[in-house]
Amino acid sequence: MTNPGCSVAVIGLGIMGGPMAVNLVKAGYDVIGYNRSVAKMQALVERGGRAASTIAEAVWRADIVVTVLPDSPDVEAVAEGQDGLFERAKSGTLWIDCSTIRPDVSRRLASAAHARGIRAIDAPVSGGEPGAIEGTLSIMVGGEAADFDAAKPVLEAIGSTIVHVGPSGAGQTVKAANQLLVAGIMELVAEALVFVDAHGVDSDAAIRVLSGGLAGNRILERKAPSMVARVYEPGFRVDLHHKDLGILIAAAREAGVAIPLGALSAQLMGALRAQGYGDLDHSALHLLVETLSGRRPA
């Protein structure tokens, strides 16, 4: 059923969902997309997919439904809303939720899905827009082993690192850890860049040599050059990362885990948003460090 040729509905064709749907087309799936804005669906149609005018239309004949939505309430609306996934998907449908949402909501929805004969896994992704386009996303999957196995061919069309990390909700838990690491490393890279710049050291040389040692990391490779150029175009918006860090802080609190650097990073991301930078890329933490240090060019 999950072999190429089977029908996959993709709900949410944004920065991430759009290219993911295209990669599913390329892999031979019959892809039917739904998005509130028609322009996004048109782009999919041009690449060989089909467009649905309602969620119901997208899901009712699909073997597999993939959702790529911004936040918990969006996923709840698609799943539980009138004429939504739960009402209209056929029994036995495999629902792959690639959204980043609260682990407890994810668990609750998976359980509700199962009660209606729908199989459900949480499969949030990391890798950003480039990873979505190139099909090299890292995908952290929570759910039952059989459902993970069934989803694997689809996931392999959109990602290159695909790991079953535990039962339902576990994918979201690991994604929260991912967002902790990404926010914290982003801030550290920003601090390091402003530090060397303030000391008159050439940033490009510093990035090159820092990348070669134990400090080497993907943000230094991919984001540091645009920080140096003071270009903070999404990519991944501050608003969304702020939302994810809210999930993290709550989940760490619930589990009694001390995350001092995570909590401070969340404050800084929240400050960016409060200052009106919610639509910038999360690498705008560099802007914040420069502002704090009195080094913003006029």
Binding of residue 230 to a copy of itself (CB under 8 A): no
Alpha-carbon dihedral 39, 139, 84, 50, rounded to 10 degrees: 40
Active-site option among 26, 90, 152, 175: 175
Binding of residue 11 to a copy of itself (CB under 8 A): no
Q: How far does Cα 20 stand from its chain's mean position? A: 11
Q: How many CB atoms lie within 10 A of CB 251?
A: 20
Among 133, 163, 228, 240, binds a copy of itself (CB under 8 A): 163
Total residues belonging to the chain: 298
Rounded distance, CA 35 to CA 33, Å? 7
Query: Per CB under 8 A, which of residues 256..285 are in contact with a copy of itself?
Result: 256-268, 270-271, 273-276
Classify residue 90 by its DSSP letter: P
Binding of residue 27 to a copy of itself (CB under 8 A): no
Binding mask of the shown chain, residues 128 to 157, with x at each position contacting a copy of itself by CB under 8 A: x--x-----xxxx-----------------
90 part of the active site: no
Query: Which phi and psi (to 5°) does residue 140 adopt?
Result: -105, 115
Residue 245's closest CA among 212, 199, 285?
285
Q: How far is the CB of 232 from a copy of itself (least distance, A)?
A: 15
Rounded distance, CA 151 to CA 153, Å? 6
Q: Pick the stretch among 67-75, 83-91, 107-115, 123-131 that binds a copy of itself (CB under 8 A).
A: 123-131
Closest to a copy of itself by CB, 189 vs 280, is 189
Q: Pick the stretch among 11-19, 29-37, 145-153, 189-197 that binds a copy of itself (CB under 8 A).
A: 189-197
